[in-house]
Amino acid sequence: MAAQKLLILGTRMLALEVADLATDAGFEIAGFVENLDPERCVESLEGLPVHWIDDVAAYADTHLAVCALGTTHRHRFVEQAAQLGFRFATVVHPSARVSTRSRVGEGTIVSAGAVIAAHSTIGRHVLVNRGVLIGHHTEIADYVSIQPGANVAGACRIGERAYIAMSAVVIDRVTVGSYSVVGAGAVVTKDVPENVQVVGVPARIVKENVEGR
């Protein structure tokens, strides 16, 4: 059976990482897609073409797409591709462990060494980076970014477009509100409202009116 062809939305360093993960997961990487700087389409990337977003509609029937941006604002790029008719791949690295009792949404990336425990729901276009731990009965909403080594415990809820930075810890039964940012190494011991940034041990609010990262 032929491998499914995949276009990577993005051309920066994370795009190369996601291409590597997707190759290990059995996809055939067909190229990369840029939506900000047309000059990046002049040269290839790792020997593969870089397409301008307006020129890829012809591939929508035969290729899947996945967005390789770490920012929670990647919804804009995803929406551009969706308007062109693209469907989205769910990329789970072979070394990740995802419970068969959990669900992972389309467009989500589960990187090497990540663990998703039982009865959890991972939304659409979520980035679960290297070595992330997600506990049982936890809900991760759409477009969340969870960066390397973060640990989200059981029965938590992470709101839409929230950003959990590297090595942060969210203890059991805690909610992180939509668009909020948890700083690197922070330990979240109580609910975090929407649109704030928290840092420290225990985590405390240091900035308001945040719109993800």
Q: How confident is the model at residue 149 (pLDDT cuts 50, 70, 90)?
A: very high
Domain boundary among 69, 88, 107: 88
The model's pLDDT over 61-76, given as tens digits with 9 standing for 90+, comes to 999 999 999 999 999 9
Q: 213 lies in a domain?
A: no
Mean pLDDT (the chain) is 97
8 A C-beta contact, residue 74 and residue 124:
no
8 A C-beta contact, residue 66 and residue 8:
yes
Is the pLDDT assigned to residue 1 strictly greater than 90?
Answer: no
What's this model's pTM, rounded to 2 decimal places? 0.96
Give whole-number Cα distances, 96 to 80, 115, 168, 213, in Å.
Answer: 29, 6, 19, 25
User: Could you list the residue range(s) of the whole structural domain that residue 81 is in?
Assistant: 5-88
CATH label of the domain that carries residue 187 = 2.160.10.10
The tally of domains found in the chain comes to 2
Domain boundary among 28, 54, 88: 88
98 and 84 co-located in one domain? no
Domain boundary among 88, 107, 126: 88
Q: Which residues are catalytic?
A: 136
Q: 185 lies in a domain?
A: yes
* Residues 6 or more apart whose Cβ sits within 8 Å of residue 213: 71, 72, 145, 163, 181
According to DSSP, the β-strands at 204-208 and 196-199 are: antiparallel
70 and 154 co-located in one domain? no
Q: 169 lies in a domain?
A: yes
20 and 108 co-located in one domain? no
68 and 173 co-located in one domain? no
The model's pLDDT over 83-136, given as tens digits with 9 standing for 90+, comes to 999 999 999 999 999 999 999 999 999 999 999 999 999 999 999 999 999 999
